[in-house]
Amino acid sequence: MAKKVKYKPKKIKLCASDLVLQIVTTILLFIVLLITLYPIIYIISCSFSDYIAINAGRVVFWPVGFTWSGYEYVFRFKDIWVGYRNTLIYTVVGTALNIFMSMLCAYPLSKRDFQGRRTYMNLFFISMFFGAGLIPHYLWNKTLGFINNPLVMIIPGAMGVYNMIILRTAFRSSIPGDLFEAAKIDGANEFRSLFQIAVPLAKPTISVLTLYYAVGHWNAYFSAMIYLRDKNLWPLQLFLRGILTTTEGFKPSDASNPTPNPSGGSSTQIADNTLGAKYALIVVSTVPVLILYAIVQKYFKKGVMVGAVKG
């Protein structure tokens, strides 16, 4: 082996109290890691386990009696597909609108010499501290004809004021003002400066906001529960609510009978079959969000810091 010489900066020897502190904090970090990861690992293990093993309480860490049947059961369930499709539509369209609106709003407000900036800003600021509450919103949306209308998942939440302010801060602090001046001299109008200068330069913040918005859309269930009655419009979370937050097993309500066990006659047996599927469903519905987080993760540090510190 070739000898490698590492040049390490000479470390200052820790004094006893600092050493103890290091040991204690390291132990605490491991404990935090364990507490966070253990429930997640348990759920994933259960989703791959045989329902008999789950029922007998034999799954504690690793999957027992490895099987894909939970996942098979989930994907044969028609409602899940409908929910997945709807959630995907709401998330993509809703997030795109969110980002567009936030850009439109954040850019003028980031201009220091924009006349009327104060007034606009107050309009948005006040809304963060004082809201009308559930019922007046419900009544107004009803008046607008949003009951049982998929637009209710997109339009009323077309922008998040807090996220917009983060973007405004990013526009203001990460882009030198001279750049806009130069663009103006070269004949760019404001729209062009926004989409060709400000937006590309604020990319880290915009990707983080995309994550925030998309996660919000993906996880929303309450407004769907209030406004949407037609099951074909339901997002995934609303179907999940019916399946996960009841103690009974989920039984196929639609025509295509997904029961993998044809000999199972009694209803308790069907419930047993669906036990692993519940865990599988938890995994299946959360993974897309985590994938998105993993993609955005590299922008994370830069993007979050800009808005967060100055908030």
Partner 1 sequence: MAKLERKMQQYSLVLTSNRKKGWDLFWTRFKKNWQLHVMMILPVVWIIMFHYIPIYGIQIAFREYSNYYGMWGSEYVGFLKLAKFFGNYKWSSYVVNTLSISLYSLVAGFPTPIILALIIHVNDRKILKKITQNVSYIPHFISTVVMVGILIRIFDQYTGLLASFNRLLGITDRPNLMANVDAFRHIYVWSGIWQGMGWSTILYIASLSAVSEELHEAARIDGANRLKRVWHVDIPAILPVISIQLILRFGHIMSVGYEKVYLMQNSVNLPVSEIISTHVYKRGIQDGDLSYGAAVGLMNTFINTTLVVLVNWITTKLTDGEGGLF
The yes or no reply on residue 274 touching partner 1 (CB under 8 A) is: no
142 CB contacts (<8 Å, ≥6 apart)? none
- In the complex, what is the shortest distance from the CB of residue 116 to partner 1, in angstroms, rounded to a whole number? 7
Residue with tokens 């203001």: 172
The yes or no reply on residue 226 touching partner 1 (CB under 8 A) is: yes
When binding is defined by CB under 8 A, the residue of 99, 194, 202, 270 that contacts partner 1 is 194
Whichever of 258 and 275 has its CB closer to partner 1, that residue is 275
Greatest C-alpha distance within the chain = 79
199 CB contacts (<8 Å, ≥6 apart)? 103, 206
The yes or no reply on residue 222 touching partner 1 (CB under 8 A) is: yes
- In the complex, what is the shortest distance from the CB of residue 61 to partner 1, in angstroms, rounded to a whole number? 10
- Distance between CA 169 and CA 205 in Å, rounded? 10
Whichever of 46 and 258 has its CB closer to partner 1, that residue is 46
The yes or no reply on residue 228 touching partner 1 (CB under 8 A) is: no
Whichever of 92 and 139 has its CB closer to partner 1, that residue is 139
The yes or no reply on residue 9 touching partner 1 (CB under 8 A) is: no
Sign of CA dihedral 74, 77, 78, 80: negative
Whichever of 85 and 301 has its CB closer to partner 1, that residue is 301
When binding is defined by CB under 8 A, the residue of 151, 182, 290, 295 that contacts partner 1 is 290
Count of residues binding partner 1 (CB under 8 A)? Answer: 91
- Distance between CA 22 and CA 1 in Å, rounded? 34
- In the complex, what is the shortest distance from the CB of residue 215 to partner 1, in angstroms, rounded to a whole number? 6
- Interaction with partner 1 in 98-137: which residues (CB under 8 A)? 101, 104-105, 107-108, 111, 114-116, 120, 123-124, 127, 129-137
264 CB contacts (<8 Å, ≥6 apart)? 270, 273
- Distance between CA 17 and CA 23 in Å, rounded? 10
- Please provide the DSSP assignment of 47-103 as one string: HTS-HHHHHTT--SSS-SS--SHHHHHHHT-HHHHHHHHHHHHHHHHHHHHHHHHHH
Whichever of 258 and 277 has its CB closer to partner 1, that residue is 277
